[in-house]
Amino acid sequence: MKERGDGSVTLGNQCPVAVASFLDFAYSGETLITDGNVDTLFQLASFLQVSVLSRACSDFLIGTLEVGNCLSLSSLAEAFGSASLLQSANHFVVRNFYDLSKTRDFLDMQVGVLEACLSSDALSVPHEEVVVMSLLRWTRHDLPGRQKLFPGLLSLTRLHHVPAPVLKTLRDSEVLLQDGRSCLALLSLAESRQRQDGGLLCDARPATARSYIYISKTEEDGETRHAFCYCLESDRWKELGAEPGEEGGGPAPPDPPGSCLTSFAEKVRFGSRSLGGSFLPQGVSFESELEC
């Protein structure tokens, strides 16, 4: 398409049927948007600044979003300046990152889109290891062009949520992580946080977060205290250590930033069915009441 000095516009290399649909809209204000003509209509509407038709095409494409086209529609929205389609496509990518990461299209994801995904709390993945492994796969796809981007992208992941044995394997065997001080420093920081926080980390993505029950018990002497954490997902108990410098030396349930208390009870009774079965910690048994 080329605009001439007399104000006319020449439309070249366009689908005749789609152009006919555009002209129908220009004269009647109505046209039928289909899978076959939406791309051309969107292009024409954006170029000629026909905002009503551009929004209609954008809404149509939003309704077609799926794993197989979300990245191409994100690029299309950016090219045609459609904020609503761009936002919807990028949100779809974040919400479907796990499925998308297993496709070949993922390997061609633009670095800006990947940065937004890695930074997002809303990223939908079963665990953080998926994020790190997907980043490694994306980087290897174009190693000469992407290796220099890798340290910055790795810093956007939450390495400290990757299991310690996996971190050790990555440190020992992954060449990308062994090259450069910045990657090794990120690994060391992740391992340090795991040791420091005892596995109770406060910045998990909601999709990977777990629900816990915290229980504290004070002995009859009024001084000796115990605190336990029960993970509903893994069906395991963990006894919490004492907080450093805490008066009386007793442990307390953690209150990390970003966590929320969904319920509270003064007493918990374990009756016909135990929490954690044979994994109940010492001092917690059936038919016992504990202060919370």
pLDDT classification of 206: cutoffs 50, 70, 90 = confident
pLDDT classification of 11: cutoffs 50, 70, 90 = low
| Number of separate helices (H) and strands (E) present in the chain | 13, 7
**Is 122-201 assigned to CATH 1.20.90.10?**
no
Query: Exposed, middle or buried: residue 107 (CB in 10 Å: 0-12, 13-18, 19+)?
Result: middle
pLDDT classification of 28: cutoffs 50, 70, 90 = confident
Please report the pLDDT score of residue 222 as a whole number: 75
Task: Determine contact, residues 35/64, Cβ cutoff 8 Å.
Answer: yes
pLDDT tens per residue, range 151-177: 999 999 999 999 889 999 998 999 888
Q: Give the CA diameter of the chain.
A: 96
Looking at per-residue confidence, does 52 or 225 come out higher?
52
pLDDT tens per residue, range 111-139: 999 999 999 999 999 999 999 999 999 99
Highest-confidence segment of 11-15, 194-198, 199-203: 194-198
Please report the pLDDT score of residue 180 as a whole number: 76
Amino acid of residue 270: F
Tell me the whole-structure pTM to 2 decimals.
0.69
Please report the pLDDT score of residue 177 as a whole number: 86
Considering only CA atoms, which of 168, 165, 163, 171 is closest in space to residue 129? 163
Please report the pLDDT score of residue 103 as a whole number: 96
**10-14, 62-66, 190-194, 208-212: which range is least confident on average?**
10-14
pLDDT tens per residue, range 40-83: 888 888 887 888 889 999 999 999 999 999 999 999 999 999 99
122-201 has the same fold as 1-95: no
pLDDT tens per residue, range 79-115: 999 999 999 999 999 999 999 999 999 999 999 999 9
What is the distance between the alpha carbons of residues 53 and 42, in angstroms, rounded to a whole number? 7
Please report the pLDDT score of residue 36 as a whole number: 85
Q: Which two structure tokens, joined as six digits, stand for 284?
A: 């917690």
User: Token match 């939908």: residue?
Assistant: 124
Measured CA distances, 93 to 110, 136, 162, 199 (Å): 12, 18, 22, 29
What stretches of the chain adopt beta strand conformation (E)? 2-3, 9-10, 212-218, 225-231, 236-239, 267-269, 289-291
Q: Which two structure tokens, joined as six digits, stand for 85?
A: 């389609």
pLDDT tens per residue, range 238-291: 777 654 444 545 555 555 544 555 555 555 554 434 444 434 445 444 333 333
Task: Determine contact, residues 278/254, Cβ cutoff 8 Å.
Answer: no
**Mean pLDDT of the region 171-185:** 87
**103-107, 209-213, 215-219, 284-288: which range is least confident on average?**
284-288
Q: Where are the domains of the chain?
A: 1-95, 122-201, 210-291
Please report the pLDDT score of residue 6 as a whole number: 54
| CATH superfamily assigned to domain 1-95 | Potassium Channel Kv1.1; Chain A (3.30.710.10)
Paired strand residues for 227:
216
Query: Exposed, middle or buried: residue 281 (CB in 10 Å: 0-12, 13-18, 19+)?
Result: middle
